[in-house]
Amino acid sequence: MNVTQEDITKGMQELNFKAMALSFPQEIIHEILLRLPVKSLIKCTSVCKAWRSMIMNKSFIRAHISQINNMNDSHLFLVHRVSGRESSTSSHRANVSEVTEEVYSLHYDNQAFDEYAKIEFPIAPKQEVLNEHLRVVGTCDGLICLADDMPCYCYNFFIWNPAIRKLVTLPRPGITFRTHGGYDASIGFGFDANTNDYKIVRVVTLQHEGVGPTLAEVYSLATGSWTSVGSVTPSCQLIRASQAFVNGALHWPARRWTDYGSNYFILTFEVGSKLFHEIQVPKSLIKYNYHLGLWLSISGDGKSIALFSMDNRCEDSFLEIWVMKEYGMEESWTKLVTLGPQGPERLLPRASCFRKNGEVLLILSGAREAFSMGSILSNQYTFYGHRTKSNHELVSLDHVSKTIKNLGISGEGYQYCNVDSYKESLVLSDQTGAVSY
């Protein structure tokens, strides 16, 4: 038997771990383990039973999340791309058919936007979905919530932790076409600090001769079941393309129909108290026409919300980026920049989310000729990097220095692209019903 230097080094490391487990006080070991990344912690669970018990403990998992949140180098982005032979746009979202490739990748939030890892959704549950690809609803504490609702509604929802390769498949919700008839649904995903539980909130507007009542139900990861939480009064229609979880509450862009058009606002749901509230959008957007599209994101510092508003009429289109400087203070809405279309295709970039440094990730769609290098915005901006002939490109907008940097995330043939903030965690390690793959 040939023993390599790598085998010797690995053996010495295991001996050192076991020696430390026997000789160090538990308090010191606890502090050391808290500072390790998820992949290292998974390896440490095999050192001894005491370490495994410590790492799998719910209080340790929460403490580790807090530790990660304070580490700047742990911040990642999840990039989800889908390519297919055909695509169409409906309700401000791209629907891809005859899918040829679906890619999930993690990237560092650094200047180079380096790739951290490629991750794969498990094959078995993917075979059960109705639509050809899934949609990322949102991320929270290392968990990814996925919905099978593009373009057709169905009842497949998943909570996925790719770092530890575990997956939870949700049961069918209570509100379905069979039980309530036609409906329009929006999904939100967040954490209930009161009960240390992750929850999916489903807000459903029934279609009863127009806009019917708006109902809500909540899935609890702890109990594994759905519960009705009443209705939203007066009824409203959520714009289901986006959600943001900030300060213990879920946020969705929404509107109500009036005799004079649409009234836009932000519907919030406090996950702990199960109460709905409303936040007004900037005054210039409250009473806007039907062509307005709204997306929500989390601000760069993670303490408030950001709003991306877009008028998609070709002759007068724009994209505005707003930030609520003080959360809950409607008078603190501040417009950072207005973006305008260029080129023969008159296409607008799509704002995705904020980076830690305050820059905004934009997705450029269409052929390269649709945007000029130096000025894709209403104000002159400097473009760094080369554009490629691609359906989607990811760029970073610095609205202060007025520069745009190509991040090198592109691919010819990708008709759908979505970006979300992400951090690895141990959540689901101790979850009953979570499937390993």
> Domain-by-domain residue ranges, the chain?
5-55, 72-422
Predicted model pTM: 0.87
Question: pLDDT value at position 139?
Answer: 97
Residue of 193, 149, 196 whose CA lies nearest to 170: 149
Task: Judge whether 125 and 101 are in contact, CB under 8 Å.
Answer: no
Class of domain 72-422 as given by CATH = mainly beta
Q: Summarize the confidence of residues 83-112 as an average pLDDT.
A: 71
Question: pLDDT value at position 384?
Answer: 54
Q: Summarize the confidence of residues 249-269 as an average pLDDT.
A: 90
Question: pLDDT value at position 4?
Answer: 57
The residue type at 126: K
Question: pLDDT value at position 335?
Answer: 96
Task: Judge whether 154 and 172 are in contact, CB under 8 Å.
Answer: no
Separation between Cα atoms, residue 298 and residue 141, nearest integer Å:
14
Question: pLDDT value at position 332?
Answer: 98
Evaluate if residue 126 carries a pLDDT over 80.
no
Which has more confidence, 435 or 14? 435
Separation between Cα atoms, residue 105 and residue 417, nearest integer Å:
11
Separation between Cα atoms, residue 98 and residue 150, nearest integer Å:
13
Evaluate if residue 107 carries a pLDDT over 70.
yes
Share of the chain above pLDDT 90, in %: 48
Average pLDDT score, the chain: 83
Task: Judge whether 383 and 393 are in contact, CB under 8 Å.
Answer: no
Evaluate if residue 248 carries a pLDDT over 80.
yes
Evaluate if residue 307 carries a pLDDT over 80.
yes
Evaluate if residue 161 carries a pLDDT over 90.
yes
Q: 76 CB contacts (<8 Å, ≥6 apart)?
A: 106, 107, 108, 109, 116, 421, 422, 423, 424
